[in-house]
């Protein structure tokens, strides 16, 4: 992942604390974007896992796979699926 830090002309970072604050703000923005991209639908999870949609649905019903639900909407988190696959394969 490459970052390009652009500061308005005339901006001077005077100490490590100020630099840390700026970097913290940048990383927070980057991480917030990553969280959204990591949330997948059942279809996206099926494509990611290279299985069928009914297989993912069955795994959810049997609580074999990590997922979360808001009302009737079921979503899966990419990092949780990666961790689940690592644990399942060992």
Interval 48-58: pLDDT, tens:
999 999 999 99
Tens digit of each residue's pLDDT (9 = 90 or more) over 1-34? 677 777 788 777 678 887 788 788 877 776 665 5
Beta bridge partners of 70: 73
Distance spanning both ends of the chain, measured CA to CA: 29
Domain boundaries, the chain: 37-89
Q: Whose CA is closest to 39, among 72, 4, 90, 81?
A: 81
Beta-strand relationship, 68-70 and 73-77: antiparallel
Q: Specify the pLDDT at position 84.
A: 92
Contact between 45 and 56 (Cβ < 8 Å): yes
The answer to whether the predicted template modeling score (pTM) of the entire model surpasses 0.95 is no
Question: What angle (nearest 5°) sits at the alpha carbon of residue 85, between those of residues 31 and 27?
Answer: 10
Q: Specify the pLDDT at position 51.
A: 96
What is the average per-residue pLDDT within 62-83?
93
CATH of the domain spanning 37-89, picked from 1.10.3470, 3.40.50, 2.60.40, 3.90.105: 3.90.105
Q: Specify the pLDDT at position 26.
A: 74
Q: Specify the pLDDT at position 66.
A: 95
């Amino acid at each position: 992942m490459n970052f390009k830090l652009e500061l308005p002309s005339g901006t001077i970072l005077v100490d490590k604390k100020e630099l840390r604050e700026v970097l913290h703000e940048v990383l927070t923005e980057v991480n917030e974007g990553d969280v959204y991209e990591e949330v997948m639908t059942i279809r996206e999870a099926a494509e990611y896992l290279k299985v069928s949609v009914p297989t993912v649905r069955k795994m959810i019903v049997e609580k074999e796979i990590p997922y979360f639900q808001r009302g009737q909407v079921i979503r899966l988190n990419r990092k949780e699926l990666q961790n689940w696959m690592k644990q399942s394969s060992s």
